[in-house]
Amino acid sequence: MIARLLAVLLFCALAASARAQTSFEELVPRLGGGFGPAAEAAQALGTQGDPRALPILRALSEGRLLRNAEGRVILDGRDAATGEAIAAEGATRINLNNRLRVVLRGAIGRLALSSPNAAERRAAADAVFRTRSAENVPLLEDALSREAIPEIRALMELALGASRLLVDDVTVQRAGIIVLSGAGTAEARSLLLEARAAKPELAVDIDAGIATIDRRLAIRRGFETAFQGISLGSVLLLAALGLAITFGVMGVINMAHGEMVMIGAYTTFMVQEALRHTAWAAWSLPLSVPAAFLVTAAVGVVLERFLIRHLYGRPLETLLLTFGIGMMLQQGVRLIFGAQNREVLSPAWMQGTLMLPGGLPVTQNRLWIILFGLAVLALTMAAIRFTRFGLEMRAVVQNRRIAATMGIRTGWVDAMTFAFGSGLAGLAGVALSQIDNVSPNLGTGYIIDSFMVVVFGGVGSLVGTLVGALTLGIVNKLLEPYAGAVLAKVAVLVGIMLFIQRRPKGLFALKGRAAE
Amino acid sequence: MRRLIILAITLLLALLPALNLAGLGVSDFVITVVGKWLCYAILALSIDLAWGYAGILSLGHGAFFALGGYAMGMHLMRLIGPRGVYGHPVLPDFMVFLGYQELPWFWWGFQSFPFAMLMALLIPGALAFLVGYLAFRSRITGVYLSILTQALTYALMLAFFRNDMGLGGNNGFTDFKELLGIALNTPLARALLFWSSLAALGGCLWLGTSIARSKLGRVLVGVRDAEARLRFLGYDTLQHKLFVFVLSAMMAGIAGALYVPQVGIINPSEFSPGNSLEAVVWVAFGGRGTLLGAVLGAFTVNGLKTWLTSVAPDLWLFVLGAVFVAVTLLLPRGLIGLLEKRR
Amino acid sequence: MTLPTITRRAALAGMAGSMALPAIHSASAQGAPIKVGVLHSLTGTMAISETALRDTVLMMVEKQNAAGGIMGRRLEAVVVDPASNWPLFAEKARELLAVHKVDVTFGCWTSVSRKSVLPVFEELNGLLFYPVQYEGEEESRNIFYTGAAPNQQAIPAVEYLMGADGGEAKRIVLLGTDYVYPRTTNRILRGFLNSKGITDADIMEEYTPFGHSDWQGIVTRVKAFAAQGKKTAIVSTINGDANVPFYRELGNQGIKAEDIPCVAFSVGEEELAGIDTKPLVGHLAAWNYFMSVDAPANREFISDWHTFIRNPRRVTNDPMEATLVGFKMWAQAVAQARSTGVDAVRTAMIGQKVAAPCGFTLEMLPNHHLTKPVMIGEIQENGQFNIVWRTPAPVPAENWSRYIPENANRRR
């Protein structure tokens, strides 16, 4: 081990001394010569600044660079070093490791700083920030003098500040500290701490900078906790909405609710597979929304008409019945699709993090799920409030006999209501396919939480479901850093049990005169 | 007639371990499996007592069962003593390799068999008292109570899964050596445990039947069918419900305590809500509110499960699910209703 | 009563009416069949991992029968479903041994299921092959452990992270599911890291429940932990189902392998099959086998698998390879001992060698564990691993870790 380390060190020293003399044509073949030499070569190419290196390094980082048996490096059918045409047969892909990736990111960043493409310059500025070195200072100063777009300028200034920290000159370093302190990010804080360890004489300036950053970070942490709580709440809301209809309105204890959610997620998977090689592939997720609703609603109608309707007024029996149905649905899906997880892709607009003004980060998939949850809730409320079906549903719930005498087909309304609740569960499945496993067990993890949300919020009240879900989500996230994920959840459950004991009808109780 | 049949079946069951000890065609497998079913039957009986007579449907009875099991498990762990892998005189193996220095306080006393048995009764009983008192006082009934108890067992499951609880986390307790000086992996120990379970089942059945026939039993049926009316008539329904709920939890605790040495493991998945739900299904399957039906249901469903998981490992969930659906739809009074109709 | 060779397809056919497929008879196979028990969960939470192992055993049985069985005797698989239920594991183990009288059993995934069946196998003197990497601290004369011990997976992986190629990590986050394997592994790793000069202040350790799906808070805390001016890496012992949401959150919060690499011990090809791996390229896993290993034995394994399962998109993984190695060693030992008797096979097992799909020849050691090569793989866009480092030779298993001080007092 030590011998190998020494060999690497020796090689690094040699490479460093040789760097000035080594030509482009000599460096490029080394990219295929193993992780260590490749990293050295990439570093040298980045420092030399030869623009021909940029496409080669990019190809390497994207895994498109090949190497043949003679050790020649091939890009798009040409020898990358000399440009002559060469057969790619028998050539293998050049592999990367993390060390090489770090070097490549820096080298590509340096080379792309002067790119005419704004997006490339933005990525380059970020890359140079992450792989700062004192040598980057003149390069960044030059790039800054020509940059017009304010956003990219800010990134470049940040990168310049980070690089200045490494220059052996106290005034330059102070300038760097000021820029980094202003950035207020965790990365900047990390860099300052690193510099503090190396330069004790700058400790006072750095400590002041870190204090500034910490204030910003505290705000950010508060925001993140709130966002994560709302996000968890929105997931609970979606999972519970269907139950709020089937259980809250109809009084059916649907233990197969989780399986409806699971079927919704599998529908998403099916839609994606059906559209995979068509022009509609990018739209598979939005198209899954109606598809999942219809499929689960259809399953719901079948269950209601053939099974559940025979047990109205006997809630505990429906519980057992739906438990049995749930078992069968789960095993059915397991036999058809296999026990393994299924991959549901996230569209590009649901990946990554969105930066709100003030450096507040928001993960995109969570944001969409929050919006989706609220939209589904709003539509559900509107459907119940403003449509004929909603009117009939409320009539049947309030007084089945009078509704029947008024000409409402109560059986049909029951079936539709159950289908509606099941469809909502299917929508939850679409959302969950974006954050959780699509497996036959998907629903089991949410069923108890869903019941808790509905009971806590108040059975029969959609507003209660919303408030209940958000409260549980936020409280859970507030407790989590102190108690850990498990205890936080246990504490929330115990809290709900105690709350229900105080207010058996939940947060938003329906008022009535019935004596219990 | 009915009594004769029960007596005959009981004697037949009691004969099984004797045949096994004598080497007469009853395998060890049969003894352990039927012994397990006997414990399940006690659990089913306890659920039926609360649900069938007082209308309290607890979806968390598995928690009382598991707590009883844990009390027994802790006793069995203490009995291993220095025979563990690491040879520590006091600490169980899992504590040794998780770096515990001393025994946590709640393990004190469990080296004594009477204490452990007392705890197997008292811990489930106390929890049932607490939950029951809070719930019944606020008049939480029906499905709300069911969901509440389900959340209770779920919360306990999450808590017991934590290794920081000092109760073995996910692995729970295994590799027991002996009980009351008898090595557990001997036919004699299995026979004794089998007979104890059978006796406990008989005792619980007798107790349950006597309660059902007494004035208390009739009040409970009143609670089940029209609690409000009973309250207006001046009955303190809270006390009656609480009594039967705590008694039922203690029965479940006994079942758990007998179960653990027979299956050789206790771990937090016993708390999983699915287990409790399944136990309720046994009762519904056999026939709610008949006590005997609960026992019958526990035996039939578990027998079916043992058989199907070997014969149709891929399809048994279907069959079992279909059976549940069919029974709730077609046999509202369960198997026992079917048998009685025949007669 | 038994169902030989049930595949998913067969199961579906079973739904249509025929419950069993006839076992494949070979002309040369005569005499009473040798019974091979399969004790893997086909339903419940563990079905996701264990069904593939059931299929692997069935594939091996089929292959062995096609080659004439062992000693001219046909093999017959006895499949039971312990349904991810630990007491049921013990019951089914007893059923396999006492009722079906199997000669050998392949089974279990979780430590708790193994702990549950261990007393049964010891009491009835059965033979169990356990194919999954685990926390060690166990040695039973009735079990052969064909997965990795901690020194064959965890420690080399962390050494790699701390080396030049792994990014010279100075701060380590230990994330795990709260059960014995992560707890023990992390205890061993903490001892190892301390011995390498990494203090407890530079180690963050956090546990989550099974199937944890909301990783937002933890990933945020990891980011904050990483912002302390030292290169940070994550060591993940997160189990099965929880990995998909965890990796999704890593990707969405923009944690790139270049900044905070994450090495996982329980994430294989099967788990990656459920994730979009593009944002994860560069994150690592440590195993003793990857599907991408370039070796003749591996090419044969993969083609056998694809033929058997009739789906060219299905992957192979480390526990499947461990099952295969265990099966081959057992078949060799039976042939060598000229008997399926447990005591004879046990003696013959020690020292058995198999040219394994991982590209090395593995040997069964007297401690009932294997020698295994350690490999570090990087996640690639196609859901496969690119092997970036491997030990030059197989490493012998140390099932009693030297980083757990109490092992000094162990009873032998």
For A50-59, what is each residue's pLDDT tens digit? Answer: 888 888 888 8
Task: Report the candidate in B288, B273, B275, B267 with the shortest Cα–Cα distance to residue B335.
Answer: B288
Residue A267: is its pLDDT beyond 90?
A: yes
Categorize the per-residue pLDDT at A514 as very low, low, confident or very high, splitting at 50, 70 and 90.
Answer: very low
The residues spanned by each domain of chain C are: 8-148+296-371, 151-292+374-407
Q: How far apart are CA C43 and CA C48, in angstroms?
A: 8
Q: How far apart are CA A235 and CA C151, in angstroms?
A: 40
Q: Name the residue facing B269 among C19, C86, C92 (closest C-beta).
A: C86
| pLDDT for res C131 | 95
| pLDDT for res A7 | 55
CB-count exposure of residue B92 (10 Å: 0-12, 13-18, 19+): buried
| pLDDT for res C412 | 52
ipTM: 0.85
- Domain spanning C151-292+374-407, CATH architecture: 3-Layer(aba) Sandwich (3.40)
- In this structure, how many other beta carbons lie within 10 angstroms of the beta carbon of residue A21? 7
The label of the residue with tokens 């004035």 reads B215
pLDDT in tens, B136-156: 887 777 778 888 898 889 989
Which residues are within 8 A (CB) of A295 and not within 5 positions of it... i.e. 6 or more apart? A263, A264, A267, A426
DSSP string, B78-126: HHHGGGSTT--SSS-HHHHHTT--S--GGGTTTTSHHHHHHHHHHHHHH
| Chain B interface with A: residues with Cβ < 8 Å | 57, 131, 134-135, 137-144, 146-148, 150-152, 154-155, 158-159, 161-162, 228, 273-274, 277, 280-281, 284, 314-315, 317-318, 320-325, 328-329, 332
Residue C55: is its pLDDT beyond 50?
A: yes
Categorize the per-residue pLDDT at A69 as very low, low, confident or very high, splitting at 50, 70 and 90.
Answer: confident
How far CA A122 is from CA of A143, A152, C39, in Å, comes to: 11, 5, 55
- Give the helix ranges, DSSP H, for C273-381: 296-309, 318-337, 342-349
Q: How far apart are CA A172 and CA A379, in angstroms?
A: 58
Nearest residue of chain B to residue A253 (CA atoms) = B143
- In this structure, how many other beta carbons lie within 10 angstroms of the beta carbon of residue B247? 19
| pLDDT for res A375 | 95
- Nearest CA to CA, how far is A58 from chain B (Å)? 47
Q: What mean pLDDT do residues C276-291 have? A: 88
Which residues are within 8 A (CB) of B125 and not within 5 positions of it... i.e. 6 or more apart? B246, B249, B250, B253
Residue C24: is its pLDDT beyond 50?
A: no
Residue A3: is its pLDDT beyond 70?
A: no
pLDDT in tens, C343-382: 999 999 999 999 999 999 999 999 999 999 999 999 988 8
| pLDDT for res A369 | 92
Residue C6: is its pLDDT beyond 60?
A: no
Q: How far apart are CA A130 and CA A162, in angstroms?
A: 8
| pLDDT for res B70 | 94
B214: which DSSP letter?
S
Domain with CATH 1.10.3470 in chain A: 222-502
| pLDDT for res B196 | 92
Residue A516: is its pLDDT beyond 50?
A: no
Q: What are phi and psi of C7, to 5 degrees?
A: -105, 175
Inspect the interface and report whether the beta carbons of A192 and C214 lie closer than 8 Å. Answer: no
Residue A21: is its pLDDT beyond 80?
A: no
Q: How far apart are CA C330 and CA C127, in angstroms?
A: 10
Q: How far apart are CA C163 and CA C167, in angstroms?
A: 6
Q: What mean pLDDT do residues C48-70 have? A: 92
Query: Is residue A233 within 8 Å of A471, Cβ to Cβ?
Result: yes
Categorize the per-residue pLDDT at A93 as very low, low, confident or very high, splitting at 50, 70 and 90.
Answer: confident
Inspect the interface and report whether the beta carbons of C378 and A97 lie closer than 8 Å. Answer: yes
Residue C58: is its pLDDT beyond 80?
A: yes
Q: Report chain A's mean pLDDT, rounded to a whole number.
A: 84
Identity of the amino acid at B163: N
Lowest mean pLDDT among B45-49, B240-244, C35-39: B240-244
Q: Report chain C's mean pLDDT, rounded to a whole number.
A: 86
pLDDT in tens, A324-344: 899 899 889 988 888 778 888
| pLDDT for res A512 | 47
What's the token pair of residue A476?
């859970």
Lowest mean pLDDT among B108-122, C11-25, C63-77, C212-226: C11-25
Categorize the per-residue pLDDT at C23 as very low, low, confident or very high, splitting at 50, 70 and 90.
Answer: very low
| pLDDT for res A259 | 94
Domains C8-148+296-371 and C151-292+374-407 belong to one CATH topology: yes
Write out chain A residues lying below 8 Å of C205, CB-based: none
Query: Is residue A76 within 8 Å of A67, Cβ to Cβ?
Result: no
pLDDT in tens, A372-388: 999 999 999 999 899 99
Categorize the per-residue pLDDT at A400 as very low, low, confident or very high, splitting at 50, 70 and 90.
Answer: confident
A83: which DSSP letter?
-
| pLDDT for res B108 | 87
The C-alpha angle with vertex C131 and arms to C126 and C135, in degrees rounded to 5, equals: 100
Q: How far apart are CA C211 and CA B227, in angstroms?
A: 41
Task: Report the candidate in A147, A111, A144 with the shortest Cα–Cα distance to residue A127.
Answer: A111
- Nearest CA to CA, how far is C44 from chain B (Å)? 10
How far CA C209 is from CA of B167, B241, C114, C177, C238, in Å, comes to: 15, 35, 20, 6, 9
- Nearest CA to CA, how far is C140 from chain B (Å)? 11
- Nearest CA to CA, how far is A320 from chain B (Å)? 6
Q: Pick the residue with more confidence: A5 or A222?
A: A222
**Any idea how long chain B is?**
343
> Which of C116, C143, C207, C237 to substitute to test the interface with B, most B CBs within 10 Å?
C116
The pTM score is 0.85
Which residues are within 8 A (CB) of B335 and not within 5 positions of it... i.e. 6 or more apart? B285, B286, B287, B293, B296, B297, B300, B327
**Any idea how long chain A is?**
516
If you average pLDDT over each of A244-248, B140-144, B329-333, which comes out highest?
A: A244-248
| pLDDT for res B258 | 93
Q: What mean pLDDT do residues B179-196 have? A: 87
Inspect the interface and report whether the beta carbons of A498 and B134 lie closer than 8 Å. Answer: yes
Q: What mean pLDDT do residues B116-131 have? A: 93
Write out chain B residues lying below 8 Å of C83, CB-based: 309
SS3 state at B221? helix
Inspect the interface and report whether the beta carbons of B313 and C81 lie closer than 8 Å. Answer: yes
Instruction: Assign domain C8-148+296-371 one CATH number from 3.40.50.2300, 3.90.199.10, 3.30.413.10, 3.40.50.300.
Output: 3.40.50.2300
| pLDDT for res A479 | 87
Residue A466: is its pLDDT beyond 90?
A: yes
Query: Is residue A169 within 8 Å of C207, Cβ to Cβ?
Result: no
**Residues B267, B272, B275, B280, Cα dihedral to 10°:** 140
How far CA B129 is from CA of A110, B134, B255, B272, in Å, comes to: 71, 8, 18, 21
Identity of the amino acid at A350: M
Q: Report chain B's mean pLDDT, rounded to a whole number.
A: 86
Identity of the amino acid at C209: P
| pLDDT for res A105 | 86
| pLDDT for res C21 | 37
Residue A20: is its pLDDT beyond 60?
A: no
Q: How far apart are CA A268 and CA A427, in angstroms?
A: 9
Categorize the per-residue pLDDT at A251 as very low, low, confident or very high, splitting at 50, 70 and 90.
Answer: confident
The answer, for A319 touching chain B at a CB cutoff of 8 Å, is: yes
| pLDDT for res C177 | 86
SS3 state at A479? helix
Q: Is A458 left (phi over 0), alpha (psi -120 to 50) or beta?
A: left
Give the count of alpha carbons within 13 A of A222, CB side only: 5
Q: How far apart are CA B43 and CA B64, in angstroms?
A: 9
- Nearest CA to CA, how far is C339 from chain B (Å)? 25
The label of the residue with tokens 């930066």 reads A355
Q: Rg of chain A over CA atoms, in angstroms?
A: 30
| pLDDT for res C336 | 93
Q: What mean pLDDT do residues A376-405 have? A: 89
> Which of B88, B97, B179, B275 to substitute to test the interface with C, most C CBs within 10 Å?
B97
- In this structure, how many other beta carbons lie within 10 angstroms of the beta carbon of residue B234? 6
DSSP string, B252-274: HHHHHHHHHHHHSEE-GGGG-HH
Q: How far apart are CA B272 and CA B253, in angstroms?
A: 16
| pLDDT for res C331 | 94
pLDDT in tens, C306-331: 999 998 888 999 999 999 999 999 99
Query: How many whole angstroms from its chain centre is CA C127?
Result: 18
Write out chain C residues lying below 8 Å of B93, CB-based: 137
| pLDDT for res B127 | 94
Categorize the per-residue pLDDT at C394 as very low, low, confident or very high, splitting at 50, 70 and 90.
Answer: very high
Q: Name the strand (E) or helix (H) holding A120.
A: helix A118-130
Nearest residue of chain C to residue A489 (CA atoms) = C209
How far CA C302 is from CA of A482, C44, C293, in Å, comes to: 47, 27, 11
Q: Considering the domain A222-502 in this protein, what is its CATH number?
A: 1.10.3470
Q: What mean pLDDT do residues A411-419 have? A: 90
The label of the residue with tokens 């023990």 reads C184
Percent of chain B with pLDDT over 90: 24
| pLDDT for res A219 | 87
| pLDDT for res C60 | 95
**Residues C51, C55, C58, C60, Cα dihedral to 10°:** -130
Inspect the interface and report whether the beta carbons of A328 and B228 lie closer than 8 Å. Answer: no
Q: Is B264 left (phi over 0), alpha (psi -120 to 50) or beta?
A: left
Q: What are phi and psi of C136, to 5 degrees?
A: 75, -150
Write out chain B residues lying below 8 Å of C110, CB-based: 170
| pLDDT for res A380 | 93
| pLDDT for res B69 | 94
Q: How far apart are CA A143 and CA A136, in angstroms?
A: 10
Categorize the per-residue pLDDT at A9 as very low, low, confident or very high, splitting at 50, 70 and 90.
Answer: low
Write out chain C residues lying below 8 Å of A109, CB-based: none
Q: What are phi and psi of A184, to 5 degrees?
A: 70, 25
pLDDT in tens, B266-303: 989 899 888 898 898 888 888 888 888 899 899 998 99
A510: which DSSP letter?
P
